[in-house]
Amino acid sequence: MNDQVLILTRSAPLAPASWNAQERSFDVVFATDAPIPRRDARGAYFEVLSLAGMEPASPTFPVLDSHARGSLERQIGSANDIRVIGGEARALVRLSRANPIADRVAIDLDAGQTFGVSTGYVILQAKESTRDGARYLVATRWTVVEISLTPIPADPRTGIRGLSMPIENTPAATPAPSSPAAVERAASTQTPAIIDRAAVNAEIRSIARVASLDQSWIDSQIDAGATIDDARAAAFEALRTRSAPASEVRTTAVVGTDHTDPEIRARALGAALFTRISPSHTPSEASRVYIGLSIPEIARDCLRTRGLQTTGLSSARVVERALQTTSDFPLLLADTVNRTLRQAYESAPAGVRMLARETTAKDFCAKHRLQFSTAPTLAPVNEHGEFQSGAIAEAKESYSVSTFGRIIGFSRQAMVNDHLGAFADVTRRMGQAAAAFEAGFLADLVVSNPVMGDGKTLFHADHGNVGTGGTSASGPSAAINVESLNESRMAMRLQTGLQGELISVTPKYLLVGADRETEAEKAISTISPVQSQEVNPFQNKLAVVVDPRISNAWYVVAAPAEIDGLEFAYLKGNAGPQVTSEVGFDVGVRFRVRLDFGAGFVDWRSWFKNPGE
Alpha-carbon gap, residue 78 to 147, rounded angstroms: 8
Mean pLDDT of 156-178: 35
Q: Is the pLDDT of residue 509 over 90?
A: yes
Alpha-carbon gap, residue 455 to 395, rounded angstroms: 12
Please count the other Cβ atoms lying within 10 Å of the Cβ belonging to residue 404.
15
Measured in whole angstroms, how far is the alpha carbon of residue 453 from the centre of its chain? 46
Asked if 161 and 10 touch (Cβ cutoff 8 Å), the reply is yes
Q: Are residues 118 and 204 in the same domain?
A: no
Alpha-carbon gap, residue 26 to 357, rounded angstroms: 65
Please report which residue ranges of 244-374 form alpha helices under DSSP H: 262-277, 285-288, 295-305, 315-324, 329-347
Average the pLDDT over each of 193-197, 203-207, 516-520 and give the range with the smallest value: 193-197
For residue 2, tell me if it sits in a domain: no
Residue 442: pLDDT band (50, 70, 90) is very high
Alpha-carbon gap, residue 201 to 296, rounded angstroms: 44
Single residue among 327, 347, 367 that ends a domain in this structure: 347
The helix/strand/coil state of 545 is strand
Asked if 213 and 226 touch (Cβ cutoff 8 Å), the reply is no
For residue 171, tell me if it sits in a domain: yes
pLDDT value at position 155?
34
| pLDDT tens column, 119-153 | 887 888 888 888 888 888 888 888 888 888 876 53
Position with higher pLDDT, 252 vs 416: 416
| Cβ neighbours of residue 598 closer than 8 Å, sequence gap 6 or more | 361, 367, 399, 400, 401, 402, 568, 569
pLDDT value at position 4?
40
Question: DSSP string of 573-607?
Answer: T--S-EEEEEE-SSSSEEEEEEEEEEEEES-STTE
Q: Is the pLDDT of residue 158 over 50?
A: no
Q: Are strands 36-40 and 578-583 parallel, antiparallel or unpaired?
A: unpaired
The residue type found at 82 is I
pLDDT value at position 473?
54
Q: Are residues 75 and 162 in the same domain?
A: yes
Mean pLDDT of 407-436: 75
Q: Is the pLDDT of residue 5 over 70?
A: no
Please count the other Cβ atoms lying within 10 Å of the Cβ belonging to residue 455.
7
pLDDT value at position 471?
64
For residue 111, tell me if it sits in a domain: yes
Q: Are residues 540 and 477 in the same domain?
A: yes
Q: Are residues 330 and 354 in the same domain?
A: no
For residue 255, tell me if it sits in a domain: no
Q: Is the pLDDT of residue 254 over 80?
A: no
For residue 253, tell me if it sits in a domain: no
pLDDT value at position 476?
67
Measured in whole angstroms, how far is the alpha carbon of residue 151 from the centre of its chain? 30
The helix/strand/coil state of 535 is coil
Q: Are residues 551 and 579 in the same domain?
A: yes
Asked if 29 and 88 touch (Cβ cutoff 8 Å), the reply is yes
pLDDT value at position 418?
66
Query: Would residue 351 be called left, alpha or beta, if left means φ above 0 and alpha means ψ between -120 and 50 degrees?
Result: left
Position with higher pLDDT, 531 vs 495: 495
Q: Are residues 144 and 222 in the same domain?
A: no
Q: Are residues 280 and 356 in the same domain?
A: no
Q: Are residues 460 and 357 in the same domain?
A: yes
Q: Are residues 428 and 484 in the same domain?
A: yes
For residue 574, tell me if it sits in a domain: yes
| Measured CA distances, 81 to 46, 50, 61 (Å) | 29, 19, 10
Q: Are residues 317 and 364 in the same domain?
A: no
Question: DSSP string of 216-263?
Answer: HHHHHHHHTT--HHHHHHHHHHHHHHHHSPPSS----------TTSHH
The helix/strand/coil state of 99 is coil
Residue 41: pLDDT band (50, 70, 90) is low
Domain that holds residue 202: 194-241
Alpha-carbon gap, residue 31 to 325, rounded angstroms: 36
The helix/strand/coil state of 285 is helix
Q: Are residues 362 and 218 in the same domain?
A: no
Question: DSSP string of 511-531?
Answer: EE-GGGHHHHHHHTS----SS
Q: Are residues 459 and 343 in the same domain?
A: no
Of 597, 573, 600, which is closest to residue 405 (Cα–Cα)?
Answer: 597
| pLDDT tens column, 305-361 | 777 777 777 878 877 777 766 556 777 677 777 777 777 777 777 789 989 988 888
Domain count, the chain: 4
Mean pLDDT of 183-194: 40
For residue 250, tell me if it sits in a domain: no
Average pLDDT value for the chain: 75
For residue 385, tell me if it sits in a domain: no
